Amino acid sequence: HVIYGIAGLKIHGKVLLVIREELDQVRAYAHVGTGNYHSKTANLYTDFGLFTSKESYTRELLDFFNFLTGRSKKSDYEKMLVAPINMSSRFLELIGKETANAKEGRPAEIIAKMNSLEEKGIIEALYEASEAGVKITLFVRGVCCLRPGVPGLSENISVVSVVGRLLEHSRVYFFRSGAEDRADGLFFIGSADWMSRNLHRRVELIAPVEERGHRERFLRLFDVISNDRVLAWDLDQDGSYTRRQPQSEGEQNSGTHETIMKFTKEFGETSF
């Protein structure tokens, strides 16, 4: 049964839901991804996917698919961030909580990885968070309408773009949420960039990542990108980019993509 979508909205979410009749029960399995289900781009893009049978996930994803068919008007998703229903408001709420934590002296940090950033409300909320003292690191491969490092506005924001043999395509969002250990913060992956079209004019889905091992892998990725001096470009406050330069011969072949592939080949996927 092919559903062609909802009038006026492009379906951009990357979600699979399989419901199986097993020996003693009906069980659901779900996959939430950041990338397209496309064999060619799968070889060229960097993406993440979450495979789960947790009922707390599959129950809401069933509502999500019923939304696509017009059989659900659910608006009170507890786990999932769904555009254009609750995603924009939830992201603003999460940024606002980091701002409040910073003002109260609690650990406050935001790391967001995406393709592009131009949504005005999100940018204004990030500026406010920066002014409150929240450390914000943005990995934005393409268009970025936020200006980092502007005195009195965005001094606590840095923007890095990684450009190499693979296309950086994954969307990952981290909010420290007052946690002493960063791995205890909130992590999300999904299909949406922080753009007006994604948050307001498309059907998108962002899902939380709950397993500690998965969260630690994201933190390692963030560290690799932050330390990349081969493929990384820093966005300056005037809108220009400055390419980082290797500080030693050993760094010349240790860009983000080479590092990730090396880890995977040597130690298997559980290492990264």
Average pLDDT over residues 118-136: 98
In three-state secondary structure terms, 26 is strand
- Tell me the residue type at 112: A
Average pLDDT over residues 153-167: 97
34 vs 50: CA distance, rounded Å: 9
In three-state secondary structure terms, 96 is helix
**What global pTM score does this model have?**
0.95
Average pLDDT over residues 188-203: 98
141 vs 61: CA distance, rounded Å: 29
112 vs 116: CA distance, rounded Å: 11
- Minimal CA–CA distance to 59: which of 36, 87, 78, 37? 78
Hey, which residues are catalytic here?
A: 12
pLDDT of 248 above 90: no
Residue 263's pLDDT is what? 82
pLDDT in tens, 65-81: 999 988 888 889 999 99
Average pLDDT, the chain: 94
Residue 272's pLDDT is what? 61
Q: What percent of the chain has pLDDT over 90?
A: 85
pLDDT of 271 above 70: no
Tokens representing 23 are: 């020996």
CA within 13 Å, CB half, 175: 20
